[in-house]
A = this chain, B = another copy of it.
Amino acid sequence: MLQTRNGKRTAQAALKIACDLVDEGMRTEQEAVAMIDPRNLDTLLHPQFDAKALKAATPLGKGLGASPGAACGKVVFTADDAVAWKERGEKVVLVRLETSPEDITGMKAAQGILTVRGGMTSHAAVVARGMGTCCVSGCSEINMDEENKKFTLAGQTFNEGDPISIDGTTGNIYGQIIPTVPATIAGEFGRVMAWADKYRTLKVRTNADTPADAKKARELGAEGIGLCRTEHMFFGEGRIDAFREMICSSTLEEREKALEKILPMQQSDFEALYEALEGNPVTIRFLDPPLHEFVPTEEADIEALAKTQGKTVEAIKSIIAGLHEFNPMMGHRGCRLAVTYPEIAKMQTKAVIRAAINVQKKHPDWKVEPEIMIPLVGEVKELKFVKKFVVETADAEIAAAGVDLKYEVGTMIEIPRAALTADDIAKEADFFCFGTNDLTQMTFGFSRDDAGKFLTAYYDTKIFENDPFAKLDQVGVGKLMEMAIKLGKPVNPKLHIGICGEHGGDPSSVEFCHKIGLDYVSCSPARRRSFVR
């Protein structure tokens, strides 16, 4: 024998081989699970291009493969167009310079998303992975002219309605329609995943912001929600208006009045979440993004808001201009909002507690125990300050209802200083949840939305071998995580610890999380499926 190497096999084949080996008594179930490379499984769960058609096609360009799967359709340039075209039965691919929270409905309507700017954890990429929608991001070769609804790539001009296909695994972009075939899950896949569930100790939660997502995730086996981003609930019909009124209020009374309008809507969302989770844990993160992400940009919307508020258009514009930040990622967000506007966190506390009380009443056999998560804490006094009025508000609600309800107040560990001072923070926190997206940004000192500009050079020069936003940097970010656990656990032995960044869906990062003693990982439903049946 002169040479040996691993036999290459598709994910399907690997599953079949593993099952056969167990059936023939050659391998134990544990060994069979360990034989499967989890990275292969993701591909199994998304539509792929028809192999024959793909072979005949030549890519025009390449971006980052930001969310797996394949998509084809007609080019549209705005979220509204995506919705309108879909309604009349067209398959569309949404192409944008970059996406923003206002594009969500359009992103949902599209088969795939293609952006000119942004990295693996840009808005488009994160949201697309969350939705399980194919996405190619950061294709800077594209010369975009959003105003005139056209772009050029490799000399070819694309107008609205032109055919395009994108591959969210390879990042390839094609100037034609390549048919896709849906994902199929063969029986072996289910068997292997059942064995994995049987032997693992790490719990698997899901990131879910809507009752629909939560329900779907639960059906797929999620053992809880590790991250519910409450701000995503503010963009719906009727809510965004009230939230904008809150932002543009001049007094505490005005702000509270606007928040009162949102309270019942948040409460009903939370009730539906608790219903979907059937007594499994739900971690609700309080408002995180800076307020300027919510304000209107269109003249007509600004005028409408001015009218509702009884203010002049200039006054509203001045408020919006005042929200401008040089570095929004490091700006007035997270618990800094709760410190400056406690009324927001109080409203969210009421919504969480009232929802939990109602659902617990309906299902006395479930254990509904809200986990309130305060984001972006960097100093224990910050958490203490916010926790004080959260607890006061929660206890008052519970007392008023005359029930007995337990709840927890914990924090994200996503600021380096939180990890460095975790012994102090653990005194006030019932749980830690590593927000490794932000923690990676701050530890490396680069913004995930801007890193695309230089990361290619970093890969080319072998300075980086992986995207630190996709695969956890165990040397630096991981060191902070280990430090936080070592400092926090002795102070508060009951402290439970999870992760809810993108890394919660990456196999090697999950392995590291298991090794350093985390209790659970939480990731977007589409990624979670790789771990949970």
A residues sitting closer than 8 Å to B (CB atoms) are 140, 143, 318, 322, 325-332, 336, 339-340, 376, 378-379, 381-382, 385, 414-417, 420-421, 438, 441-447, 449-450, 453-454, 457-458, 461-464, 473, 475-477, 479-480
Q: List the B residue with the shortest CB-CB distance to A331.
A: B450
CB-CB under 8 A for A454 and B336, given A438-B445, A441-B330? yes
**Which residues of the other chain, B, contact A447 by a CB distance below 8 angstroms?**
325-327, 330-331
A385 and B464 CA atoms in complex are apart in Å by 11
Closest B residue by C-beta to A476: B417
Contacting residues, chain B, for A414 (C-beta < 8 A):
445
B-chain residues with CB within 8 Å of residue A476 when the two chains form the complex = 378-379, 416-417, 420-421
Q: Which of B376, B453, B480 contacts A420 (CB 8 A)?
A: B480
Q: List 6 A-B contacts (CB under 8 A).
A: A143-B318, A330-B441, A378-B446, A382-B458, A415-B444, A416-B442
Which 7 A-B pairs rank lowest in CB-CB distance, beginning with the nearest? A327-B447, A417-B476, A330-B447, A415-B445, A331-B450, A326-B449, A327-B327
- Give Cα A382–Cα B340 distance, bound, in whole angstroms: 39
Q: A325-B450, A378-B444 are in contact. List 15 more A-B contacts (CB 8 A).
A: A327-B450, A329-B330, A330-B445, A330-B446, A330-B447, A339-B454, A339-B463, A340-B457, A381-B463, A381-B464, A415-B444, A420-B443, A420-B476, A421-B475, A442-B443
Asked if residues A462 and B381 are in contact (CB atoms below 8 Å), the reply is yes
- Which residues of B sit under 8 angstroms from A443, Cβ to Cβ? 378, 415-417, 420, 442
Given known pairs A417-B476, A463-B381, A476-B421, the reply for A329 and B332 (CB within 8 Å) is no
Residue numbers in B under 8 Å from A475 (CB-CB): 420-421
**A140 CA to B447 CA, complexed, in Å:** 27
Q: Is the CB of A330 within 8 A of B330?
A: yes
Which of these, B140, B328, B416, contacts A327 with CB under 8 Å? B328
When distances are taken between beta carbons in the complex, the residues of chain B under 8 Å from A417 are: 443-445, 473, 476-477
Chain B residues near A458 (CB-CB < 8 A): 339, 382
A449 touching B327, Cβ below 8 Å: yes
A444 contacts across to B, CB distance below 8 A: 378, 415, 417
Q: Are A450 and B330 in contact (CB under 8 A)?
A: yes
> In the bound complex, how far is the Cα of B379 from the Cα of A479, in angstroms?
14
Collect the chain B residues with CB atoms within 8 Å of residue A331's CB.
Answer: 446-447, 450, 453
Closest B residue by C-beta to A324: B117
| A379, A462, A464, most chain B CB atoms within 10 A | A379
Taking the closest CB of chain B, its distance from the CB of A106, in whole angstroms, is 20
Closest CB of chain B to A389's CB: distance in Å? 11
